[in-house]
Structure 1
Amino acid sequence: MHEWLTDTRESYDTVAVSYAEQTRGLLDGLPHLRAALRLFAEEVSGPVADVGCGPGDITARLSDLGVDAFGIDLSPAMVALARRTHPGLRFEVGSMTEPLAGPLGGILAWWSLIHVPDDLVPVVFGHFHDALRPDGLLQLGFHVGDRTNLKTQGYGGHPMRVHVHLRRPERVAGWLRDAGFTVEAQWLLGEDGAVLFARRG
Protein backbone atom coordinates (compact mmCIF):
# COMPACT_ATOMS: atom_id res chain seq x y z
CA MET A 1 0.00 0.00 0.00
CA HIS A 2 1.24 3.50 -0.86
CA GLU A 3 2.44 5.47 2.17
CA TRP A 4 -0.21 8.17 1.66
CA LEU A 5 -2.93 5.49 1.63
CA THR A 6 -1.64 4.00 4.86
CA ASP A 7 -1.47 7.44 6.47
CA THR A 8 -4.99 8.27 5.30
CA ARG A 9 -6.46 4.98 6.51
CA GLU A 10 -4.78 5.21 9.92
CA SER A 11 -5.73 8.86 10.32
CA TYR A 12 -9.41 8.24 9.70
CA ASP A 13 -9.36 5.13 11.87
CA THR A 14 -8.10 7.40 14.65
CA VAL A 15 -10.72 10.12 14.22
CA ALA A 16 -13.70 7.99 13.14
CA VAL A 17 -15.87 8.53 16.22
CA SER A 18 -15.12 12.23 16.66
CA TYR A 19 -15.49 12.81 12.89
CA ALA A 20 -18.95 11.25 12.96
CA GLU A 21 -19.97 13.35 15.97
CA GLN A 22 -18.75 16.61 14.41
CA THR A 23 -20.22 16.05 10.94
CA ARG A 24 -23.58 14.54 11.94
CA GLY A 25 -26.34 16.83 10.68
CA LEU A 26 -23.87 19.11 8.87
CA LEU A 27 -25.80 18.79 5.62
CA ASP A 28 -28.90 20.30 7.27
CA GLY A 29 -27.22 23.70 7.16
CA LEU A 30 -25.98 23.39 3.57
CA PRO A 31 -29.01 23.88 1.27
CA HIS A 32 -27.04 24.04 -1.99
CA LEU A 33 -25.27 20.78 -1.22
CA ARG A 34 -28.59 19.16 -0.29
CA ALA A 35 -29.93 20.33 -3.65
CA ALA A 36 -26.96 18.76 -5.44
CA LEU A 37 -27.64 15.46 -3.68
CA ARG A 38 -31.35 15.58 -4.53
CA LEU A 39 -30.59 16.28 -8.18
CA PHE A 40 -28.15 13.38 -8.27
CA ALA A 41 -30.80 11.11 -6.72
CA GLU A 42 -33.40 12.22 -9.26
CA GLU A 43 -31.12 11.67 -12.25
CA VAL A 44 -29.35 8.43 -11.31
CA SER A 45 -30.69 4.99 -12.13
CA GLY A 46 -29.38 1.74 -10.68
CA PRO A 47 -26.99 1.00 -7.82
CA VAL A 48 -24.81 3.82 -6.52
CA ALA A 49 -21.45 3.60 -4.75
CA ASP A 50 -20.77 6.33 -2.19
CA VAL A 51 -16.98 6.27 -2.40
CA GLY A 52 -15.28 7.63 0.69
CA CYS A 53 -18.51 7.26 2.63
CA GLY A 54 -17.04 7.83 6.10
CA PRO A 55 -19.65 7.11 8.79
CA GLY A 56 -22.32 6.52 6.16
CA ASP A 57 -24.61 9.49 6.74
CA ILE A 58 -24.64 10.59 3.09
CA THR A 59 -25.17 6.99 1.97
CA ALA A 60 -28.20 6.93 4.26
CA ARG A 61 -29.46 10.23 2.80
CA LEU A 62 -29.24 8.74 -0.67
CA SER A 63 -31.18 5.71 0.52
CA ASP A 64 -33.84 7.98 2.02
CA LEU A 65 -34.11 9.66 -1.40
CA GLY A 66 -34.92 6.31 -2.97
CA VAL A 67 -31.45 5.44 -4.27
CA ASP A 68 -30.04 1.90 -4.10
CA ALA A 69 -26.88 3.12 -2.37
CA PHE A 70 -23.98 1.41 -0.63
CA GLY A 71 -20.81 2.82 0.89
CA ILE A 72 -17.10 2.20 0.41
CA ASP A 73 -14.38 3.65 2.60
CA LEU A 74 -10.64 3.15 3.07
CA SER A 75 -10.96 3.19 6.87
CA PRO A 76 -12.11 -0.03 8.55
CA ALA A 77 -13.09 1.97 11.64
CA MET A 78 -15.32 4.22 9.53
CA VAL A 79 -16.93 1.21 7.87
CA ALA A 80 -17.56 -0.46 11.23
CA LEU A 81 -19.14 2.73 12.53
CA ALA A 82 -21.30 3.09 9.42
CA ARG A 83 -22.53 -0.48 9.77
CA ARG A 84 -23.50 0.10 13.41
CA THR A 85 -25.20 3.42 12.70
CA HIS A 86 -27.01 2.34 9.53
CA PRO A 87 -27.52 -1.43 9.90
CA GLY A 88 -29.92 -1.66 6.98
CA LEU A 89 -27.32 -0.52 4.45
CA ARG A 90 -24.23 -2.14 2.97
CA PHE A 91 -20.75 -0.81 3.66
CA GLU A 92 -17.39 -2.24 2.68
CA VAL A 93 -13.71 -1.42 3.02
CA GLY A 94 -12.09 -0.44 -0.25
CA SER A 95 -9.96 2.11 -2.07
CA MET A 96 -10.84 4.22 -5.10
CA THR A 97 -7.32 3.54 -6.36
CA GLU A 98 -8.45 -0.05 -7.07
CA PRO A 99 -11.08 -1.18 -9.60
CA LEU A 100 -14.70 -0.95 -8.41
CA ALA A 101 -17.21 -3.72 -9.01
CA GLY A 102 -19.87 -2.76 -11.53
CA PRO A 103 -21.87 -2.07 -13.47
CA LEU A 104 -23.07 0.88 -11.42
CA GLY A 105 -25.69 3.46 -12.20
CA GLY A 106 -23.82 6.14 -10.31
CA ILE A 107 -20.85 7.06 -8.15
CA LEU A 108 -20.82 9.77 -5.49
CA ALA A 109 -17.43 10.94 -4.19
CA TRP A 110 -17.80 13.86 -1.82
CA TRP A 111 -14.55 15.30 -0.45
CA SER A 112 -12.75 11.96 -0.68
CA LEU A 113 -10.73 12.62 -3.83
CA ILE A 114 -9.00 15.41 -1.90
CA HIS A 115 -6.45 12.97 -0.45
CA VAL A 116 -5.49 11.37 -3.80
CA PRO A 117 -2.23 12.68 -5.34
CA ASP A 118 -2.45 14.38 -8.74
CA ASP A 119 -0.71 11.57 -10.60
CA LEU A 120 -3.29 9.03 -9.42
CA VAL A 121 -6.44 11.07 -10.12
CA PRO A 122 -6.57 9.89 -13.77
CA VAL A 123 -6.25 6.28 -12.51
CA VAL A 124 -9.17 6.82 -10.12
CA PHE A 125 -11.30 8.38 -12.85
CA GLY A 126 -10.47 5.44 -15.10
CA HIS A 127 -11.75 3.06 -12.42
CA PHE A 128 -14.91 5.15 -12.04
CA HIS A 129 -15.47 5.09 -15.81
CA ASP A 130 -14.98 1.32 -15.99
CA ALA A 131 -17.39 0.68 -13.10
CA LEU A 132 -20.21 2.84 -14.47
CA ARG A 133 -22.58 1.56 -17.07
CA PRO A 134 -23.11 3.69 -20.21
CA ASP A 135 -24.81 6.95 -19.25
CA GLY A 136 -23.87 6.37 -15.59
CA LEU A 137 -23.69 9.48 -13.42
CA LEU A 138 -20.75 10.72 -11.35
CA GLN A 139 -20.88 13.50 -8.78
CA LEU A 140 -17.72 14.87 -7.18
CA GLY A 141 -17.36 17.31 -4.29
CA PHE A 142 -13.98 18.84 -3.45
CA HIS A 143 -12.08 21.80 -2.02
CA VAL A 144 -11.18 24.56 -4.48
CA GLY A 145 -7.70 26.07 -4.67
CA ASP A 146 -4.16 25.67 -5.96
CA ARG A 147 -2.29 24.16 -3.05
CA THR A 148 -1.77 21.09 -0.90
CA ASN A 149 -2.02 21.22 2.89
CA LEU A 150 -0.65 18.67 5.34
CA LYS A 151 -3.25 18.05 8.04
CA THR A 152 -1.59 16.85 11.24
CA GLN A 153 -4.55 16.95 13.61
CA GLY A 154 -8.29 17.32 13.49
CA TYR A 155 -11.75 16.36 14.72
CA GLY A 156 -11.19 16.88 18.41
CA GLY A 157 -7.43 17.38 18.19
CA HIS A 158 -6.59 13.79 17.32
CA PRO A 159 -3.33 13.22 15.42
CA MET A 160 -3.64 12.84 11.67
CA ARG A 161 -1.31 12.76 8.71
CA VAL A 162 -3.19 13.43 5.49
CA HIS A 163 -2.44 15.61 2.51
CA VAL A 164 -5.41 17.71 1.41
CA HIS A 165 -5.27 18.71 -2.25
CA LEU A 166 -7.19 21.82 -3.30
CA ARG A 167 -7.94 21.95 -7.03
CA ARG A 168 -9.59 24.20 -9.58
CA PRO A 169 -12.84 22.86 -11.10
CA GLU A 170 -11.53 23.30 -14.63
CA ARG A 171 -8.54 21.08 -13.82
CA VAL A 172 -10.75 18.33 -12.40
CA ALA A 173 -13.09 18.69 -15.38
CA GLY A 174 -10.14 18.21 -17.74
CA TRP A 175 -9.16 14.96 -16.03
CA LEU A 176 -12.77 13.78 -16.30
CA ARG A 177 -12.95 14.50 -20.02
CA ASP A 178 -9.65 12.69 -20.58
CA ALA A 179 -11.17 9.66 -18.81
CA GLY A 180 -14.18 9.61 -21.15
CA PHE A 181 -16.73 11.60 -19.14
CA THR A 182 -18.97 14.42 -20.30
CA VAL A 183 -19.03 17.21 -17.72
CA GLU A 184 -22.62 18.39 -17.44
CA ALA A 185 -22.43 21.01 -14.70
CA GLN A 186 -20.04 22.71 -12.31
CA TRP A 187 -21.37 24.29 -9.12
CA LEU A 188 -19.24 26.60 -6.99
CA LEU A 189 -20.07 26.55 -3.28
CA GLY A 190 -18.90 29.88 -1.95
CA GLU A 191 -15.20 30.41 -2.58
CA ASP A 192 -13.74 27.13 -1.40
CA GLY A 193 -15.94 24.27 -2.59
CA ALA A 194 -17.22 22.80 -5.85
CA VAL A 195 -19.50 20.04 -7.07
CA LEU A 196 -19.13 18.54 -10.55
CA PHE A 197 -21.73 16.47 -12.37
CA ALA A 198 -20.34 14.18 -15.08
CA ARG A 199 -21.72 11.33 -17.12
CA ARG A 200 -20.01 8.36 -18.70
CA GLY A 201 -20.22 8.48 -22.48
Structure 2
Amino acid sequence: MIKQSRIYTDQELANGLFNGDEYAFQCIYERYAKALYRSAYQLLNDKELCEDLIQELFINLWIKRDVLHISSLKPYLYISMKNQVLMAVRRKKYLLNEELLLELKASETIEDYVHTKELQQSFQKEIDLLPKRCKEIFSLSRIEQLSNREIAERLQISIKTVENQMTIALRAMRIFLQHFLLLTIFLFPF
Protein backbone atom coordinates (compact mmCIF):
# COMPACT_ATOMS: atom_id res chain seq x y z
CA MET A 1 0.00 0.00 0.00
CA ILE A 2 1.37 3.40 -0.99
CA LYS A 3 1.68 5.85 1.92
CA GLN A 4 1.16 9.55 1.45
CA SER A 5 4.39 10.62 3.14
CA ARG A 6 6.86 10.50 0.22
CA ILE A 7 7.30 10.82 -3.54
CA TYR A 8 7.11 7.51 -5.38
CA THR A 9 8.78 6.32 -8.56
CA ASP A 10 6.67 5.53 -11.58
CA GLN A 11 7.32 1.83 -11.06
CA GLU A 12 6.12 1.98 -7.45
CA LEU A 13 2.99 3.80 -8.57
CA ALA A 14 2.38 1.28 -11.37
CA ASN A 15 2.74 -1.56 -8.86
CA GLY A 16 0.37 0.21 -6.47
CA LEU A 17 -2.14 0.69 -9.28
CA PHE A 18 -1.91 -3.01 -10.18
CA ASN A 19 -2.73 -3.81 -6.54
CA GLY A 20 -5.77 -1.50 -6.55
CA ASP A 21 -4.23 1.32 -4.50
CA GLU A 22 -6.39 4.42 -5.01
CA TYR A 23 -3.68 6.77 -3.74
CA ALA A 24 -1.23 5.41 -6.34
CA PHE A 25 -3.88 6.05 -9.01
CA GLN A 26 -4.39 9.59 -7.71
CA CYS A 27 -0.62 10.23 -7.80
CA ILE A 28 -0.41 8.97 -11.39
CA TYR A 29 -3.28 11.25 -12.37
CA GLU A 30 -1.74 14.29 -10.66
CA ARG A 31 1.67 13.59 -12.16
CA TYR A 32 0.61 13.06 -15.78
CA ALA A 33 -2.91 14.37 -16.52
CA LYS A 34 -1.88 17.95 -17.39
CA ALA A 35 1.01 16.91 -19.63
CA LEU A 36 -1.17 14.34 -21.40
CA TYR A 37 -3.86 16.97 -21.87
CA ARG A 38 -1.35 19.39 -23.43
CA SER A 39 -0.11 16.63 -25.71
CA ALA A 40 -3.65 15.90 -26.94
CA TYR A 41 -4.64 19.57 -27.17
CA GLN A 42 -1.64 20.32 -29.34
CA LEU A 43 -3.05 17.89 -31.91
CA LEU A 44 -6.80 18.36 -31.56
CA ASN A 45 -7.18 21.98 -30.41
CA ASP A 46 -10.46 21.01 -28.72
CA LYS A 47 -10.61 21.58 -24.96
CA GLU A 48 -13.72 19.50 -24.25
CA LEU A 49 -12.62 16.57 -26.37
CA CYS A 50 -9.18 16.53 -24.74
CA GLU A 51 -10.75 16.58 -21.27
CA ASP A 52 -12.98 13.67 -22.30
CA LEU A 53 -9.98 11.74 -23.63
CA ILE A 54 -8.07 12.26 -20.37
CA GLN A 55 -11.07 11.01 -18.41
CA GLU A 56 -11.47 8.02 -20.70
CA LEU A 57 -7.77 7.16 -20.47
CA PHE A 58 -7.72 7.23 -16.67
CA ILE A 59 -11.05 5.41 -16.33
CA ASN A 60 -9.70 2.62 -18.56
CA LEU A 61 -6.45 2.61 -16.59
CA TRP A 62 -8.37 2.06 -13.35
CA ILE A 63 -10.78 -0.51 -14.80
CA LYS A 64 -7.99 -2.57 -16.39
CA ARG A 65 -5.46 -2.07 -13.57
CA ASP A 66 -5.44 -5.70 -12.49
CA VAL A 67 -4.59 -7.05 -15.95
CA LEU A 68 -2.01 -4.44 -16.92
CA HIS A 69 1.65 -5.07 -16.23
CA ILE A 70 3.13 -1.65 -16.88
CA SER A 71 6.91 -1.66 -16.95
CA SER A 72 7.37 1.97 -18.00
CA LEU A 73 4.50 4.15 -16.83
CA LYS A 74 5.22 7.40 -18.68
CA PRO A 75 5.66 5.83 -22.14
CA TYR A 76 2.61 3.64 -21.53
CA LEU A 77 0.45 6.68 -20.74
CA TYR A 78 1.68 8.68 -23.73
CA ILE A 79 1.13 5.77 -26.11
CA SER A 80 -2.35 5.29 -24.66
CA MET A 81 -3.09 8.98 -25.16
CA LYS A 82 -1.80 8.83 -28.72
CA ASN A 83 -4.16 5.92 -29.39
CA GLN A 84 -7.06 7.83 -27.78
CA VAL A 85 -6.35 10.80 -30.06
CA LEU A 86 -6.22 8.57 -33.13
CA MET A 87 -9.53 6.96 -32.20
CA ALA A 88 -11.09 10.39 -31.65
CA VAL A 89 -9.84 11.54 -35.03
CA ARG A 90 -11.35 8.48 -36.68
CA ARG A 91 -14.65 8.85 -34.80
CA LYS A 92 -15.11 12.55 -35.23
CA LYS A 93 -13.14 12.96 -38.42
CA TYR A 94 -11.40 15.98 -36.98
CA LEU A 95 -9.44 18.00 -39.45
CA LEU A 96 -5.88 18.11 -38.25
CA ASN A 97 -2.93 19.90 -39.55
CA GLU A 98 -1.58 17.33 -42.05
CA GLU A 99 1.94 17.60 -40.70
CA LEU A 100 0.79 16.82 -37.15
CA LEU A 101 -1.25 13.83 -38.33
CA LEU A 102 1.74 12.40 -40.16
CA GLU A 103 3.87 12.94 -37.08
CA LEU A 104 1.33 11.17 -34.91
CA LYS A 105 1.00 8.19 -37.26
CA ALA A 106 4.77 7.89 -37.55
CA SER A 107 4.94 7.52 -33.76
CA GLU A 108 8.13 9.50 -33.64
CA THR A 109 7.16 11.60 -30.66
CA ILE A 110 9.68 12.39 -27.98
CA GLU A 111 7.88 10.01 -25.63
CA ASP A 112 8.10 7.15 -28.14
CA TYR A 113 11.79 7.87 -28.71
CA VAL A 114 12.41 7.88 -24.95
CA HIS A 115 10.44 4.64 -24.56
CA THR A 116 12.43 2.96 -27.35
CA LYS A 117 15.72 4.07 -25.81
CA GLU A 118 14.62 2.87 -22.36
CA LEU A 119 13.64 -0.50 -23.82
CA GLN A 120 16.97 -0.82 -25.64
CA GLN A 121 18.89 0.08 -22.48
CA SER A 122 16.85 -2.33 -20.37
CA PHE A 123 17.35 -5.09 -22.92
CA GLN A 124 21.11 -4.45 -22.99
CA LYS A 125 21.24 -4.51 -19.18
CA GLU A 126 19.46 -7.86 -19.23
CA ILE A 127 21.97 -9.20 -21.77
CA ASP A 128 24.83 -7.90 -19.61
CA LEU A 129 23.47 -9.94 -16.67
CA LEU A 130 24.00 -13.19 -18.57
CA PRO A 131 27.07 -15.27 -17.70
CA LYS A 132 30.09 -14.30 -19.83
CA ARG A 133 30.08 -17.35 -22.13
CA CYS A 134 26.28 -17.26 -22.48
CA LYS A 135 26.38 -13.55 -23.36
CA GLU A 136 29.12 -14.17 -25.93
CA ILE A 137 27.18 -17.00 -27.59
CA PHE A 138 23.95 -14.98 -27.58
CA SER A 139 25.72 -12.03 -29.24
CA LEU A 140 27.29 -14.23 -31.89
CA SER A 141 23.92 -15.78 -32.64
CA ARG A 142 21.66 -12.74 -32.57
CA ILE A 143 23.96 -9.87 -33.51
CA GLU A 144 26.44 -11.52 -35.87
CA GLN A 145 23.79 -13.98 -37.09
CA LEU A 146 26.08 -17.02 -36.85
CA SER A 147 24.64 -20.53 -36.85
CA ASN A 148 25.16 -22.82 -33.87
CA ARG A 149 27.75 -24.78 -35.87
CA GLU A 150 29.68 -21.59 -36.75
CA ILE A 151 29.63 -20.46 -33.12
CA ALA A 152 30.85 -23.87 -31.96
CA GLU A 153 33.70 -23.78 -34.48
CA ARG A 154 34.70 -20.23 -33.62
CA LEU A 155 34.70 -20.83 -29.85
CA GLN A 156 35.99 -24.41 -30.14
CA ILE A 157 33.13 -25.84 -28.13
CA SER A 158 30.47 -28.44 -28.88
CA ILE A 159 27.23 -27.61 -30.67
CA LYS A 160 25.38 -28.98 -27.63
CA THR A 161 27.10 -26.39 -25.42
CA VAL A 162 26.03 -23.65 -27.82
CA GLU A 163 22.45 -24.95 -27.77
CA ASN A 164 22.41 -25.14 -23.96
CA GLN A 165 23.79 -21.61 -23.59
CA MET A 166 21.29 -20.26 -26.12
CA THR A 167 18.48 -21.94 -24.19
CA ILE A 168 19.62 -20.15 -21.03
CA ALA A 169 19.93 -16.80 -22.82
CA LEU A 170 16.60 -17.07 -24.62
CA ARG A 171 14.82 -18.09 -21.42
CA ALA A 172 16.19 -14.97 -19.70
CA MET A 173 15.16 -12.75 -22.62
CA ARG A 174 11.71 -14.35 -22.78
CA ILE A 175 11.09 -13.61 -19.11
CA PHE A 176 12.31 -10.05 -19.61
CA LEU A 177 10.03 -9.48 -22.61
CA GLN A 178 6.87 -11.10 -21.19
CA HIS A 179 5.54 -7.91 -19.65
CA PHE A 180 5.94 -6.09 -22.99
CA LEU A 181 3.80 -8.71 -24.73
CA LEU A 182 0.78 -7.97 -22.56
CA LEU A 183 1.22 -4.25 -23.17
CA THR A 184 1.43 -4.84 -26.93
CA ILE A 185 -1.70 -6.99 -26.95
CA PHE A 186 -3.55 -4.33 -24.96
CA LEU A 187 -2.45 -1.45 -27.20
CA PHE A 188 -2.81 -3.22 -30.55
CA PRO A 189 -5.71 -5.69 -30.35
CA PHE A 190 -6.25 -7.99 -33.31
**TM-score (ref. length: structure 2):** 0.25
Q: Which of the two has higher C-alpha Rg?
A: 2
Q: Which structure has more helix as a fraction of its residues?
A: 2
TM-score (norm 1): 0.24
Higher strand proportion (structure 1 or 2): 1
